[in-house]
Chains A and B, each alone.
Chain A
Amino acid sequence: MGKKYAKSPIVEAVCEIRFTPDSKLDFTVPGLLYEKLKGEFPLKEKGSLVIGGDRTLTELAVFLTKDKNTSIRVGSKLPMLSIIRQKPYPSWNEYKPNIEKAYDFLMSIEDVEVKGINRIGLLYVNFIEIPGKEVNLAEYFNYGVVLGEKLPKGLKTFLVGCEFPFFEGRDVCKVKIASAVADKQDHFGVRLDIDYYLAQPLAVPPEGVLEWLEDAHQKVEELFEGCIKDKARELFGETK
């Protein structure tokens, strides 16, 4: 069980499941899924998505809760399912049931034929505002830029990213820390993205997705705690 924070820095959590291209999620599937989800996700929108490296644009159906804080995106051209929680992030125990529900409902649709899982991603975007225009990041983080004695201490912008392999390379977690534009005056903004994903397509069967997510979440939590120091925890207001 991870630590709890009164002022959680999580601004967005994303669970994204991409099925193999030969999976069958035809154009009727979003409508059928909506029928099952509309009690909790009554709002619907048309969404689009620019995919990674080649920046291909694809269309998605988007279903949202009334407060629009949680959304479910489903693609048929690009067979995928994504469950997104915007801030305020409640807890894994409250977020996970939405993932389970959407995934189980999708898999229960008769017309859906999932041949395999290409990628699963669990991403947490954290946004941290530290008082002061110039801050010593090393006081707050165990991860980031190392500045030698002869280098100036003030940073305007920075970006550090690492990829950590897990389970002999089956999974990878990309941890990125970067400067961000602060909302508050005289604060230094820092963004910490933790993107844990299945790096080997087909290594997890469709029935193993939810179990994989549980492991992924545990690793994300460990990495997050590994990245921050007590001074950062004080900002978030750790609750016992």
Chain B
Amino acid sequence: MDELIGTLGNIETAEIPKILWSEEKPLKRTGEGPSLFPPHPSELYTTPSGLTTIIDENYRLAQNQTDTSATSKIEDMLQGLSITGIRVPAPSAVRRYMRRHDDMLDLVSEVCQMTRGCFPPSTELSLEVYHDPEIEDEYLTLYVRQEEYETDVLRKIKVILSGYSDFLKGKSGWFLVTTDFQPSK
């Protein structure tokens, strides 16, 4: 988040939401530096109503759970995306991808929630698995789509990318936030 704050430029701080869980439940890699998105006291929560309750409940239930279930965590993530209005047009493809790359779950979840908070509710966010037709490759993509594109869409995306790109290092898969300049579907 420090890098993110450092690259804010002209973006109002309030545009970048605090990542849910960041204060109480940071992703902690013991002895390996800072959390993914450590708390920033100046930021405001910009979460849709209801989400906090659901996630808090999930968190409470997670205090003593069988942790090695990737499926459980994938479903938690998909439920969180659904509640925040992030589309997943082909959920089976996302499930399949996340099962193969379960080390990316927290990162994808947190970046999706952060991106949601960076754009107005009318902006469509769609999580899809991108298949590269030229090489046998696929990766997760969060598409940002608007009816009428704001002039600073790319700048906001760049800020988001710079906030998490370092955390992709060492992960088994890849995740991109981008736009294809298509209208919302």
Interface residues of A (CB under 8 A from B): 11-12, 14, 16, 47-58, 60, 73, 80, 82, 84, 86, 119, 121-123, 125, 127, 157, 159, 161, 172, 174, 176, 178-183, 191, 193, 195, 197, 199
CB contact under 8 A between A193 and B78, given known A157-B83, A182-B91: no
Extra 5 A-B pairs, beta carbons < 8 Å, given A174-B64, A195-B65 = A54-B25, A122-B66, A123-B66, A172-B64, A181-B88
Q: Are B68 and A82 in contact (CB under 8 A)?
A: yes
Chain A residues whose C-beta falls within 8 Å of the C-beta of B57 in the assembled complex: 159, 161
* CB-based nearest B residue for A180: B75
Instruction: Point out the residue from B30, B61, B68, B71 that lies within 8 Å of A73, measured CB to CB.
Output: B68
Q: Which of B101-128 contact A (CB under 8 A)?
A: 102-103, 106
A-B contacts at CB below 8 angstroms, number: 109
How many angstroms between the C-alpha atoms of A151 and B63 in the bound complex?
Answer: 32
* CB-based nearest A residue for B95: A183
How many angstroms between the C-alpha atoms of A195 and B81 in the bound complex?
Answer: 23
The secondary structure that dominates the B interface is helix
> Interface residues of B toward A: which range?
35 or more
The secondary structure that dominates the A interface is strand
Q: Does B11 contact A (CB under 8 A)?
A: no
Q: Are A14 and B66 in contact (CB under 8 A)?
A: yes
Q: Are B26 and A56 in contact (CB under 8 A)?
A: no
How many angstroms between the C-alpha atoms of A183 and B106 in the bound complex?
Answer: 22
Q: Which of B67-94 contact A (CB under 8 A)?
A: 67-72, 75, 78-79, 81-83, 88, 91-92
